[in-house]
Chains A and B, each alone.
Chain A
């Protein structure tokens, strides 16, 4: 079984600054994906970024990038030039490609972007 841990229940950042959200996971699998999802107050789950475990290059999507450290089983999310609309819950998630592609989520980090 996989576990996903987000050690920061809440974080805050000033608008336009950079913030990093932490995530660690535990698995014995080699074929997996990692994701960050954003959940704004509307409750909708929005995919922010994904990383395939077999890729060494860190994924980037505009202002969002990850630092994937496979040996350390660490998968942090960096948000650059934070915007007020980034205020949300952020969930790290693990997908085991050998077991039905089910998602296992971390407990979430509540991010507040302050003006």
Chain B
């Protein structure tokens, strides 16, 4: 298995632009998580899906952020419009139901200038 695949690995965009981050979880993993990592706030959970349904989005910082999981093999995190304070590394992780074993993707480093 190729693991959790995130794209792009790096993204540089201008303030005000729309940004879409993508994630392909491991096949058979029912749960998918989006985390954001910054120096100031560490690793924060943004949203959690189970069987493609958003279960907890309390960590989504504001309405500019949205996440979707149209099917079991794909999820997106969208920021519109982007702001410099959104600059961070965004991780996607997946896990099978009932397991403690998270698998993280390699992350997307987002820079908003």
Contacts and interface: CB of A to CB of B under 8 A. Distances in A.
B45 A107 contact: no
Interface residues of A, number: 19
A101 B91 contact: no
Interface in B34-57: 42-43, 45, 48, 50, 55-56
A105 B42 contact: yes
A35 B95 CA distance: 15
Contacts of A47: 101-102
Given A91-B43, A100-B56, A44 B48 contact: no
Nearest to A93: B43
A95 B45 CA distance: 12
Contacts of A102: 33, 45, 48, 56
Interface of A: 33, 35, 42-45, 47, 50, 91, 95, 100-108
Given A33-B100, A103-B45, 18 more contacts: A43-B106, A44-B106, A45-B91, A45-B93, A45-B104, A50-B100, A95-B100, A100-B48, A100-B50, A101-B99, A101-B100, A102-B33, A102-B48, A102-B56, A103-B33, A103-B102, A107-B42, A108-B42
